[in-house]
Amino acid sequence: MGSSGDNNDGLAFQSGGQSVVNCQSSGMGGNPFFASAWDPVVSISQHENFGGSSMLSQSELTNSPYPVVMENQGISTTSHLVHYQSGSSYVELVPKFPSYGSGSFSEMVSSFGLNECGQIANTGCHPNYTTNKEANIERTIANSAESQEDHQLTEEPITGASPDGKKRKRVGESNSSYDPNKNAEGERLKDPSGHSSDVQKEQDEKKPRTEQNSGANLRGKQSAKQAKNNSHSGEAPNENYIHVRARRGQATNSHSLAERVRREKISERMRLLQELVPGCNKITGKAVMLDEIINYVQSLQQQVEFLSMKLATVNPELSNDIEKILSKDILHPRGSNAALMGFVPGMNAHPYSHGIFPASIPVISNANPQFPSVPHTTLDNDLQSLFPNGI
């Protein structure tokens, strides 16, 4: 997997929705960057061409308390992209520096301080590259000079020092004040390569960059220039990677970052499961939740077994059963809960069902009373035992 094969001049994107979905985190805003309102942003690409280190950082807005990373622009420089797999953290991008660009940039960048952030985010990429390369090269050169500062500038709000509102506003203004000329270039199409999850962690961990927070020295000159370059939309084709920044007070080791991302992903899934399993609203903790999940799945499977046993004993008398049944409201069976209570006999001993269903349960009238209670077997065993009997 690895680098997306974007060989175009960098900036073909498809709409951000795709990349958002691929990020696999719930609750993402996922607006494309170019929306004037403040959006969660862009995806990052790992584009390697000379022309093409376009970047887009896409931050997912989630419940993260920290300000979302902003984006990139303008700098057509290249720097290393740091890739992390992220479920719900915000994203950043470290662009790659072009040759003419700046050795100095990296120094600048390294001196930047973001509070314990693991990587630096966003620099924009060159919208320039989309259109005429030749024409833009000069501009890029010019830009790169500024962009370096802009870079710092854009870094700065991300440090977490500035509150969210401030960051948003800046980006907003920069977007709004964006030179329409440049806007035109920045056609951000995002590449739909959406293998966001389970992307190379290894590769990510290979090139981490820890930047120290330089703090106040950057703040002064940046606000003016930020407007210009923030809106350089560096779009880069969406990449498999989601970039993560370390939060304040947390370890910046690349391994721990990746682990944190993973843990967040897992906890997000557990939350989803918690909503699915009835009666698990108050449970906190993975172990107990897992127990509940296992019990619930087992009980559902047992219910299927009981129902099939019941169907086996009942002889269908209706000839047009299919149409008739489908014409009834299958999707909303009446008194489903009461019906579920009918599965008692085998489930009496099951602690889980007692917790969920009310206690008193009528016996199934149709059930053959001599029929031994169906043992709880997994589907595999049943499949296995089925075929020796012949179909």
Partner 1 sequence: MTSVHPNSTTTTRFARRFLISLSRMRRPITLGPPSDEEVCRRTRRIKLAAYSSMARAVGSRRAWSRALLLKVRNRVRFQGILRNRFLASKKKRVIKRNKASGEMNKTDMLRKLVPGGETMDICGLLEETAHYMASLATQVKVMQSIVDQYSK
Site residues for partner 1, window 249-288 (CB under 8 A)? Answer: 262, 265-266, 269-270, 272-273, 276-277, 287
Q: Which of 122, 76, 82 is nearest to 98 (CA)?
A: 76
303 binds partner 1 (CB under 8 A): yes
135 binds partner 1 (CB under 8 A): no
Cα–Cα dist 168/147, whole Å: 19
Cβ neighbours around 215 below 10 Å, total: 15
The least distance separating partner 1 from the CB of residue 194, rounded to whole angstroms, comes to: 13
The least distance separating partner 1 from the CB of residue 66, rounded to whole angstroms, comes to: 22
Query: Which residues within the stretch 10-49 sit at the binding site for partner 1 (CB under 8 A)?
Result: 21, 24-26
Beta bridge partners of 233: 73
The least distance separating partner 1 from the CB of residue 169, rounded to whole angstroms, comes to: 31
Cα–Cα dist 68/30, whole Å: 12
List the x/- string, 312-341, binding to partner 1 by CB under 8 A.
xxxxxxx--xx-xxx-xxxx-xx-x--xx-
Cα–Cα dist 82/86, whole Å: 12
Query: Which residues within the stretch 183-212 sit at the binding site for partner 1 (CB under 8 A)?
Result: 197-198
291 binds partner 1 (CB under 8 A): yes
Q: Which of 114, 96, 20 is nearest to 60 (CA)?
A: 20
Cα–Cα dist 217/111, whole Å: 10
Query: Which residues within the stretch 331-390 sit at the binding site for partner 1 (CB under 8 A)?
Result: 331, 333-334, 336, 339-340, 366, 368, 370-372, 374, 378-380, 382-387, 389
Q: Which of 179, 191, 207 is nearest to 240 (CA)?
A: 191
What DSSP letter does each residue of 218-235 carry, written as one string? HHHHHHHHHHHHHTSB--
Which residue of 137, 256, 310, 352 would you call a contact of partner 1, by CB under 8 A? 310
Q: Is there a contact between 389 and 381 (Cβ–Cβ < 8 Å)?
A: no
With CB under 8 A as the rule, give the number of residues binding partner 1: 71
Query: Which residues within the stretch 88-107 sit at the binding site for partner 1 (CB under 8 A)?
Result: none
Which residue of 1, 135, 290, 363 would you call a contact of partner 1, by CB under 8 A? 290
